[in-house]
């Protein structure tokens, strides 16, 4: 194996060597005690492309503001799928006065008696604003029925209304994009173990997370139903393979830039 890695290193292109000798490349080369050239090169390329895409996101937001556009972006996926990390990269350099991240807690007693979509309606964007939902109304499509947080009737009512609800959002001159970050059971288990062993991340684990592996097949069953019913022509699901976080983040940003017809101002 060592010989293979050494042989591979000989085939680095001049551009690769130039990247590794850049400040970003050197930072990654020296990041670990044991130098991993392949990883350092991959992360250097990732960071360079990420910065270029983030610069385009600034232009996209400027277009949204100038033209009073409204944008809603949903980030869905299993626990530990990397939704929050992706949102942080998307929003890292855009104007904080013109976007918001919505991660709603458990409904209050008062909210529980309202129309299910009401508290989400209250978070929809005003003209010139982008709203990122770190989980959304689709909690009722998967998380709630799997964990017994809603009744079968509530679930069926939601499934009967959600497509019409989204149609109304889009007809109000709002761009709606739905991302689903997909990870394997093995990758989720690995990430959970990493979270539990890291004192800076332990707070991320919830009671729902603790049962995610046990209920994996139930989540899959409801996820499939969700896709079958809500993956419409006008409001499709964009499935992001997210076992590798860096690749998933770039793919999501590229899609946003391609889907929203912004122009540089």
pLDDT computed for residue 32 by the predictor:
80
Please give the Cα distance from 72 to 234 (Å, whole number).
14
Residue 222: predicted pLDDT:
98
* DSSP line for 33-99: SS--HHHHHHHHHHHHHHHHHHHHHHHHHHHHHHTT-EEEEEEEESTTSSHHHHHHHHHSSS-GGGE
Residue 199: the pLDDT is: 94
For residue 97, CA distances in Å to 93, 131, 210, 231 come to: 12, 11, 36, 32
Cα distances (Å, whole numbers) of residue 98 to 47, 61, 62: 25, 8, 9
- Determine the pLDDT at residue 265: 57
Specify the CATH number for 54-259; select among 3.40.50.300, 2.160.20.60, 3.40.50.10490, 3.40.50.2020: 3.40.50.300
Looking at residue 23, what is its pLDDT? 85
Taking the domains of the chain in order of start, what are their residue ranges? Answer: 54-259
Look up residue 260 and give its DSSP letter. Answer: S
Alpha carbon distances (Å) from 110 to 106, 114, 117, 123: 11, 7, 13, 17
Q: Which of 39, 73, 50 is nearest to 249 (CA)?
A: 50
pLDDT one digit per residue (tens) for the chain, 265 residues: 344 444 444 478 888 888 888 888 888 888 887 878 888 899 999 999 999 999 999 999 999 999 999 999 999 999 999 999 999 999 999 999 999 999 999 999 999 999 999 999 999 999 999 999 999 999 999 999 999 999 999 999 999 999 999 999 999 999 999 999 999 999 999 999 999 999 999 999 999 999 999 999 999 999 999 999 999 999 999 999 999 999 999 999 999 999 999 987 5
- Tokens at 161, concatenated: 């209304």
């Amino acid at each position: 194996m060592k010989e293979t890695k050494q042989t591979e290193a000989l085939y680095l292109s001049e551009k690769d060597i130039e990247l590794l000798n850049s400040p970003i490349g050197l930072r990654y080369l020296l990041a670990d005690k044991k130098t991993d050239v392949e990883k350092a090169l991959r992360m250097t390329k990732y960071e360079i492309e990420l910065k270029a895409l983030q610069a385009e996101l600034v232009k996209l937001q400027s277009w949204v503001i100038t033209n009073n556009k409204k944008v809603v972006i949903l980030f869905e996926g299993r626990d530990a799928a990397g939704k929050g990390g992706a949102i942080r990269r998307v929003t890292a350099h855009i104007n904080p006065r013109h976007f918001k991240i919505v991660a709603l807690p458990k409904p209050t007693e008062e909210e529980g008696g309202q129309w299910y979509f009401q508290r989400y309606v209250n978070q929809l964007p005003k003209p010139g604003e982008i709203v990122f939902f770190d989980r959304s109304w689709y909690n009722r499509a998967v998380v709630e029925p799997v964990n017994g947080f809603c009744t079968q009737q509530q679930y069926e009512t939601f499934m009967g209304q959600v497509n019409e609800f989204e149609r109304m959002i889009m007809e109000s001159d709002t761009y709606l994009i739905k991302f689903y970050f997909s990870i394997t059971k093995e990758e989720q288990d690995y990430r959970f173990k990493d979270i539990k062993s890291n004192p800076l991340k332990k707070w991320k684990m919830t009671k729902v997370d603790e049962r995610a592996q046990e209920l994996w097949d139930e989540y899959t069953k409801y996820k499939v139903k969700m896709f079958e019913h809500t993956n419409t022509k006008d409001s499709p699901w964009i499935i992001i393979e997210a076992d590798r976080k860096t690749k998933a983040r770039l793919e999501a940003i590229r899609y946003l830039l391609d889907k929203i017809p912004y122009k540089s101002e």
